[in-house]
Chain A
Amino acid sequence: MSASAVQPLERNGGGRKSNWVRALTSGAAIVTLLYVVLYALYALWEPRALSSYTFTNLINNAAPLAIAAAGETLVVLSRGFDLSVAGVVSLTNVFMAVWPMEGPGGALISLLGCCAIGAVVGTVNGWLVAVLRLQTIAATLGTMIVCQGLALVILDAPGGMVADWVSYELTGTLFGVVPIAGLIIAAVALLWLVFLRTNTGIGIYAVGADEQAAMLSGVSVTRVRFAAFVGAGMLYGVAGFMLSAQTATGNPNAGAPFLMLVFAAVALGGTSLSGGRGGLIGSIVGAGCLMLLQKVLFSGGVSSFYTGIFQGFVLILAILFGRFMPRLFNAGAKK
């Protein structure tokens, strides 16, 4: 049993937090606020920040990390860690660069291929974790290394060429203002909102909070874990697809930088790394913040060597802030 279930929280009626307070103190709201603040800073130092071109660039930069973080969120919510993100992104990037397919039809087949690669890796992860009961870090560490190795076998050095259609169209805009990458991110968010209203979607939160209680409540823990890993794998595939559109070339180590940043984005987005609390949209905005921070620092004249230091500090501050906000409101409500 979790400790929270044991605490006697005898409360008087009427002490309930209203919905808007809850929404405002959620992780997603805090990280969105952070994004707005960062953007304002960016606009202050860089007048072109408000142009459609700059915005599209920002979204394009952030899209791969945002979608990968969205996938990772599924696993983290169900109380697990998925390191295979780095492997799947590398593998799909290599796949895109070695077998480019032109035209919109080719792009669609490539996208489906990327999703399939992710789904296969996710299925293996799900099987190792849900059926063989391996620890999530151990199981996904294994699949990550296998995928990295596979990527190297397919393409042993950076090179190859991503299909022109993919690298031009997917980094462009619709009607000259709406970034295509933004639409894809929006589609992921929309899918999440639908998934959230399925039994499996609610089951992910249940399993993440207390696997035993979820089982006793009738939730199929095995099915939920499979769904989380397969869904995550497919999103990593999409992330690899978007990264390929961005870089237009292949690199067998393309996924490596994602490993840490993905967890940073998830935590920044207000998802508890111990499972059961948070959401996917927060992670997407969290990824956006991490990438935006780089731009802000650059435009503020800070050397790019300092980027990591700032990213780390912002991450820790945001988590502290997220913990502090609800307390602040609670204290107010008690008076």
Chain B
Amino acid sequence: MVRDGQAALAVRAVSKSYGATVALEGVDLVLQPGEVHALLGENGAGKSTLVKILSGVVRPDGGAMTLAGSAFQPRTILDSRSHGVATAFQELSLLPNLTVAENLMMPRMPRGRTGLASASAARLAASEILRRYDLARIDADETVSALSLADRQRLEIVRAMEHATRVLVLDEPTAALSEVEWLFGLIRQITARGVAVLYISHRLAEVRALCSRATVLRNGRSIATVDLAGASDADIFEMMVGRAVRNEKAPRPLRDSAAPASLAVAGLAGGQLKEVSFTLRQGEVLAVAALEGQGQRDLFRILAGLARPAAGSIHIDGKPTVLRNPQGALKAGRGIAYVPEERKTEGILSSLTAAGNITLPVAGRISRGGLVWSGLEAKAAASVAGSVDLAARYLSFPIADLSGGNQQKALLARTLLTGAQTLLLFDPTRGVDVGTKQSIYAAIRRFADAGGSVLFYSSELPEVTDLADRCMVLYGGRIFAEFHGEDLEEQRLVGALVGHAAVPKGMPRKAGLETGS
């Protein structure tokens, strides 16, 4: 292995915490000049924090970074850029209301003879840049909001490449690109000049086509740096997921596959969702697993009556149904209730008590003489609090004072109180501690055992394997794979999550590019 002194970028034991949340603890990473190095990891492994540190957006709490042998402590994005380190961000850092030229020149415009920023000089310089990157068809005077998402992504990449003289960071650069040859060609050119590229992508096929080595992050730590040629996909997935011993899955009675369907959708599409069909039976816990942005949000919002599908049909308890709003969903068949992901913004009313939040949807039912008496409210709330393990003393507290876990229990209790027999849970244990997770799982199981149906999405795979009877993997807005019984295990899921079975055409799975050294 080459010593740090010759490396383009060396990161040693870098750590970063946000308050009590540890985002990174001990990340090591070495990039050689002219190398395309992959950074792999699950959602929340710390990839984006590392990108922000390299770009100078956030400063690490500990550890050291060297750039071509000398200390590298970027304080701002311009600082980082002036050292030759530039990033194409996943969320795109373009200004939609400015022109292509202005975006490319940001933050300093070329000056004309008057000493003022000159639109014509900017246009000229930008056209020249676009021409060099084979994008002459993009008009430098066009405002960015008029460009397609793919062209915006290209612009973001071009801007980073313009500034990257030592290290180029590409964070999910192909998310909006349908063909990757343009990008791959540019990467070959830039690495030929000795620039090191840190390539972040969840598409393993791309990573194999482009990169020679990969560093795997898990829970904020760098687990290993591997030669991709010598590592199988299964090895890599195992490193990403970890080998941690986990509890035996509780034995579950086999579901009656002839049980009546409480929810059946066919050809459902809308938003990012393209043609999804499945059936959810009574007494079944069905999981949806997916990486960010594969259409899971649209699926849940459509089923909750919050969004209209573009196509497809929904049958609830055997009857074709059009869901107009959440109230409608609650009344359809045996009722569908949705527990949203964003507790703070979509779920709770922070100025009310826990009991008030729980009884909100049934306020009309428990009122007497048109008024909701606090005694009635407390009684109704207490009747369901037990089923979700929420201590009765919390009921009179303002819900904002409760921990995240207890808020989630209260939301679940509220959902149970509606009497709906089909629950839609979007990431039900996000930001919840382990103990609370177990009692939420138990509540969900009890609900299913009593004949209810549950459809849930989770960003955590152990949750999927522990809780679900069956799991559908969404990829690119379609059901990419389905697992049940013995097949429902983490490593298989990880493969399916990244669309593993589908290698894009024209992209041979080989060890990678020649890096020249």
* Residues of chain A whose beta carbon lies under 8 Å from any beta carbon of chain B: 1-2, 4-11, 13, 16, 194, 197-199, 201-203, 205-206, 208-210, 212-220, 276-277
Contacts and interface: CB of A to CB of B under 8 A. Distances in A.
Nearest to A22: B143
B97 interface: yes
A198 B110 CA distance: 10
Interface centre among B94, B96, B117, B149 (most CB of A within 10 A): B96
A212 B145 CA distance: 16
A277 to B, nearest CB: 6
Interface in B404-462: none
Contacts of A218: 76-78, 81, 106-107
Contact of A202 (B91, B109, B137, B152): B109
Nearest to B112: A197
What 10 pairs between A and B have smallest CB-CB spacing? A216-B93, A197-B116, A217-B106, A218-B107, A197-B117, A10-B148, A209-B97, A213-B93, A219-B107, A276-B97
A271 B78 CA distance: 30
A194 B139 CA distance: 25
Given A198-B116, A202-B109, A202-B117, A11 B96 contact: no
Contacts of A13: 137
B148 A8 contact: yes
A199 B139 contact: no
Contact of B146 (A11, A213, A216): A11
B135 interface: no
Contacts of B119: 197
Given A9-B148, A202-B117, A218-B77, A213 B107 contact: no
A191 B138 CA distance: 32
28 contacts: A5-B96, A6-B149, A9-B147, A10-B150, A11-B148, A13-B137, A16-B146, A197-B118, A197-B119, A199-B107, A199-B109, A201-B117, A202-B117, A203-B107, A205-B95, A206-B98, A209-B96, A212-B91, A212-B93, A213-B92, A216-B57, A216-B89, A217-B77, A217-B94, A217-B107, A219-B106, A220-B76, A276-B95
Contact of B139 (A16, A205, A214): A16
B504 to A, nearest CB: 20
Contacts of B81: 218
Interface centre among B97, B108, B142 (most CB of A within 10 A): B97
A198 B122 CA distance: 12
B215 interface: no
A206 B106 contact: yes
A217 B137 CA distance: 23
B77 A5 contact: no
B359 interface: no
Interface string B375-389: 000000000000000
B102 interface: yes
B92 A1 contact: yes
Interface centre among B78, B91, B118 (most CB of A within 10 A): B91
A5 to B, nearest CB: 6
Interface in B109-130: 109, 116-119
Given A205-B95, A205-B97, A218-B81, A9 B145 contact: yes
Nearest to B114: A197
Nearest to B92: A5
Contacts of B145: 4-5, 9
A206 B95 contact: yes
A69 B227 CA distance: 62
A220 B117 contact: no
B103 interface: yes
Given A197-B117, A218-B81, A205 B89 contact: no
Contacts of A16: 139, 142, 146
Interface centre among A13, A197, A208, A218 (most CB of B within 10 A): A218
Nearest to B122: A202
A212 B91 CA distance: 10
A202 B108 CA distance: 9
A198 B96 CA distance: 19
Contacts of B89: 216
A296 B243 CA distance: 80
A64 to B, nearest CB: 29
B108 A194 contact: no
A220 B108 CA distance: 11
Contact of B95 (A10, A194, A199, A209): A209
Contacts of A194: 116
Contacts of B98: 202, 205-206, 209
A186 to B, nearest CB: 18
B291 to A, nearest CB: 17
B97 A277 contact: yes
Contact of B117 (A2, A198, A210): A198
A266 B210 CA distance: 52
A5 B97 CA distance: 10
A204 to B, nearest CB: 11
A216 B78 CA distance: 9
Contacts of B118: 197
Contacts of B96: 2, 4-5, 209-210
Given A9-B146, A9-B148, A205-B98, 6 more contacts: A8-B148, A13-B137, A198-B117, A217-B95, A218-B76, A218-B77
Contacts of B93: 212-213, 216-217
Interface centre among A1, A5, A16, A198 (most CB of B within 10 A): A5
Interface centre among B89, B92, B106, B145 (most CB of A within 10 A): B106
A14 to B, nearest CB: 10
Contacts of B78: 218
A199 B110 CA distance: 9
A309 to B, nearest CB: 34
Contacts of B103: 217
B54 to A, nearest CB: 13
A288 to B, nearest CB: 26
A13 B136 CA distance: 12
Nearest to A208: B97
Nearest to A213: B93
Contacts of A212: 91, 93
Interface in B75-105: 76-78, 81, 89, 91-98, 102-103
